[in-house]
Amino acid sequence: MPLAFIPSPSIGEVHLGPLPLRGYSLMLILGIAAAIWLGGRRWAARGGEKTVVADVALWAVPFGVVGARLYHVITSSEPYFGEGGDPVKALFVWDGGIGIWGAIAGGVVGAWIGCRRKGVALSAYADAVAPGIALAQAIGRWGNWFNQELYGRATTLPWALEIDPEHRPDTTPDLATYHPAFLYESLWCLGVVALVLWADRRFRLDRGRTFALYAAVYTVGRFWIEYLRVDEAHHILGLRLNDWTALLVFAAAVAYLVTATRRAPDDRSGYDDHANEGALRSA
């Protein structure tokens, strides 16, 4: 054991009377609330109605949760549909196991529906909420701490994460401390928030470019963090499936950034609140 380490919580839930309050679910709820708050402020700053972000989120969040769980179950199907698996547990989102890739894909579908109903542009909505999504990820990753999951290789560094024996890998049952991959990703996402906010303020990104920047920067961090993980995963040509997904998303996001920037007007000085409001409501 190292002289210093990050302890894991002894319990992952508390009971408020008959109702269980799970740390994992609480972090997800706090993350979603933070994303809506920040997105609402950014939408209003662009000349739109602040409540639009929350209204569209009523569609985006449920679709995102379903997409996140589907991605996890499809890519890690053995505990649910493999030998000795329990298909019913595929519904137990509170026990952990969601995929950000599925969350974004499902969330986009839900946001598209919500934006259509509100008469606003999906690209403008995506630009407004992009930093909030990264903030939600930074907060939500602490749910993995409560579940003692999303950790990396064994280490004795001072910031190592202590894992209880029942949650350790079968290959290292006697090693107690591991890289806190969930913490690395949380800190990376906070950096993404700061970078995207700065870039949007500096370059007045629009037409989906703010969202594309978020996607590109996030995937860079996710690639190396994924490389640290030791939990079971499907591998293709020596890389974890999520690494390949990160590479594909990064390539698509960069390609969109380059294409959209070339098509964007050179002079951004004419953008004011009234112009922004028109852009928010254009199809």
Q: Which of these, 184, 148, 151, lies nearest to 166 by C-alpha position?
A: 148
Alpha-carbon gap, residue 24 to 263, rounded angstroms: 42
Alpha-carbon gap, residue 243 to 223, rounded angstroms: 5
Tens-digit pLDDT profile for residues 88-137: 887 777 666 778 899 999 999 999 999 999 999 999 999 999 999 999 99
Tens-digit pLDDT profile for residues 158-209: 999 999 999 999 899 999 999 999 999 999 999 999 999 999 999 989 999 9
Q: Which of these, 164, 160, 201, 194, lies nearest to 177 by C-alpha position?
A: 160
End-to-end distance of the chain based on CA atoms, in angstroms?
Answer: 58
- Judged against a pLDDT cut of 70, whether residue 86 lies above it is answered with yes
- Judged against a pLDDT cut of 60, whether residue 278 lies above it is answered with no
For residue 92, give both structure tokens.
């137990």
pTM as predicted: 0.88
Alpha-carbon gap, residue 279 to 277, rounded angstroms: 5
